[in-house]
Amino acid sequence: MKVVIVGGVAAGATAAARLRRLDEQAEIVIFERSGYISYANCGLPYFIGDVISDPAELTLQTPEDFFARFQVTAKVRHEVTALHPERKTVSVRDLSTGEIFEESYDKLILSPGARPTQPRLPGVGMEQVFTLRTVEDTLRIRDYIRRKAPRSAVLAGGGFISLELAENLRRLGLELTIVQRPRQLMNPFDADMAALLHTEVRRHGVHLALGHTVEGFRAREGGVDVLLQDAAPLHADMVVLAIGVTPDTALAREAGLELGIRGSIVVNDRMETSVPDIYAAGDAVQVRHFVTGEHALISLAGPANKQGRIIADNICGGDSRYTGAQGSSVIQVFDLTAAATGLNEASARRAGLDVDTAVLSPMNHAGYYPGGTLMTMKVIFERGSWRLLGAQIVGYDGVDKRIDVLATAIRAGLDAIALKELDLAYAPPYSSAKDPVNMAGFLIENLARGILHQWHLPEVETLPRDGSVTLLDVRTAEEYGEGHLEGFSNLPLDGLRGRLDEVPPGRPVYLICQSGLRSYIASRILAGHGYEVYNFSGGYRFYETVTQDRALVEAASACGRDRS
């Protein structure tokens, strides 16, 4: 059996290694357009910032290493230019010599990945305008920085690559501006959680131009003007386009394979395309979203590697199935860690689901143990069924651990209440006896049992201030004095029982505190005395961060750049 693989990075290299482990006699050939195989895409920004200093560390395998261990022939700088399913061959161009030849196959695996999205804009292709996807891209950017010593850069796009690159370019001392058409960074996160990231990015001196569209580039004064729609141009010494990625599926389209959303390759759960003996995996394929069951594009290394393994199993006579992706991801944003899994609130609502959320701010480990830090968790679930739909966490230590627990719970089909039952490891340096994930489960159980009723940030502006409801802030007088919601009176928790006569009977009571915990305790006191009570989800700290961020975004929209 002869297997030809188009693309030798995540899915392609994984499929090749798994094929060899299952079949010692198979002939396996990889064609990779770039000069490298099995390289670490996710590490590229860190090489630019000198966190990774040796370029050899970016390549997990060389063609020589791959052949020595797996007897797989990996031909780099070889571009597959056409597929011929009718005769089971592919056309290949040797980019070093220009030679064109055909290669036969019994089974063909397409792992072409995705290419950086490059809109047809004036000025794309200038020396100072870069994309970042391959090792060659990385070397080009690093070489430019070393030769030209740029002092400023504009990053177009606000996703994973852009934020990782921002951190590394700031480490090199560049002044940065991130331009993003949506009014937030990191679309996997809801806008309220993204506000926490905006605050961190600004704190490290990065300017934000959110809600702006890039219209082109123009050379000026040795640098480049980034032309914005309805705003003044931004001038910088260099620009990196990180607007997103597009499935690289021209070969599949020309060969007549069935295509799906955004031109991605349609595959079944065995990763088989519409053409017999052709499989596909990675960023180029359309998958099923595990939570909604809808078609999705999820460009992450974890799913790509799993898909490559599944293809190898099936080529070798197995029956492995891909059950879908849920978009679990984590990113370092300067000193913060941000992680997400499943649906965010906005996407759940777009999917037509009746959703509610729980926002809480637990410590990463026992409060009495030194060095504890807060994390902000947002858990999304379906009303009535309490089905766990997704989660986002922003914080410091322990964020990755908790998102992985929540991702596993979604995969296992647990409802949100069941989070309280998870038996999680505890020692003071690592967690609390009631882990943050358990705390989310306790909170949601209280909602399910009617012990707790919530109100949310979008209701702040619509709450009546006419005396028909009672608005109470149960923080200390000092905290209240540093800032509070309009119309809210201060009645500290620790004196509440002795001052119940100050809470008018017969009116709903809306409570707020710093994180939501003290106001929950106050809600139980008041409910025990017959009041109808609602607790603010997330607390004043969360409200203040989100509203301050929104004000800065609005101001930036007016002038073209956030100068905070």
Ramachandran angles phi, psi of 451, nearest 5°: -75, -30
* Residue 549, helix vs strand vs coil: helix
Question: What tokens appear for 225 in the block?
Answer: 């003007």
Catalytic residue among 42, 316, 513, 559: 42
Distance between CA atoms of 260 and 266, rounded to whole angstroms?
Answer: 6
Residue 153, strand partner residues: 176, 238
User: Does an H or E element contain 10, and which?
Assistant: helix 10-22
Could you give the angle at the alpha carbon of 129 between the alpha carbons of 557 and 75, nearest 5°?
130
Cβ neighbourhood burial of 91 (10 Å; 0-12, 13-18, 19+): middle
Q: Letter for the amino acid at 111?
A: S
Q: Which residues contact 122 (CB under 8 A, 6 or more apart)?
A: 215, 216, 217, 218, 227
Q: How close are the terminal C-alpha atoms of the chain, in Å?
A: 62
Q: Which residue has tokens 């190898």?
A: 312
Distance between CA atoms of 7 and 33, rounded to whole angstroms?
Answer: 7
Q: Buried b / exposed e across 459-469, counting CB within 10 Å, b at 16+?
A: ebeebeeeeeb
Ramachandran angles phi, psi of 99, nearest 5°: -65, 140
Give me the half-sphere count of Cα atoms (radius 13 Å) on the Cβ side of residue 326: 27
Q: How many helices (H) and strands (E) does the chain have?
A: 14, 33
CA 449 to chain centre: 33
Query: Is position 559 annotated as part of the catalytic site?
Result: no
Distance between CA atoms of 56 and 54, rounded to whole angstroms?
Answer: 5
| Alpha-helix runs per DSSP H in 332-452 | 345-350, 399-411, 436-448
Distance between CA atoms of 279 and 311, rounded to whole angstroms?
Answer: 7
DSSP characters for 427-496?
-TTT--SS-HHHHHHHHHHHHHTTS--EE-GGGTTTS--SSSSEEEE-S-HHHHHT---TTPEE--GGGS
User: Does an H or E element contain 286, and which?
Assistant: strand 285-288
* SS3 annotation, 238-256: EEEECCCEEECCHHHHHCC
DSSP characters for 215-238?
EEEEEETTEEEEEETTEEEEEESE
Q: Which active-site residues does the annotation give?
A: 42
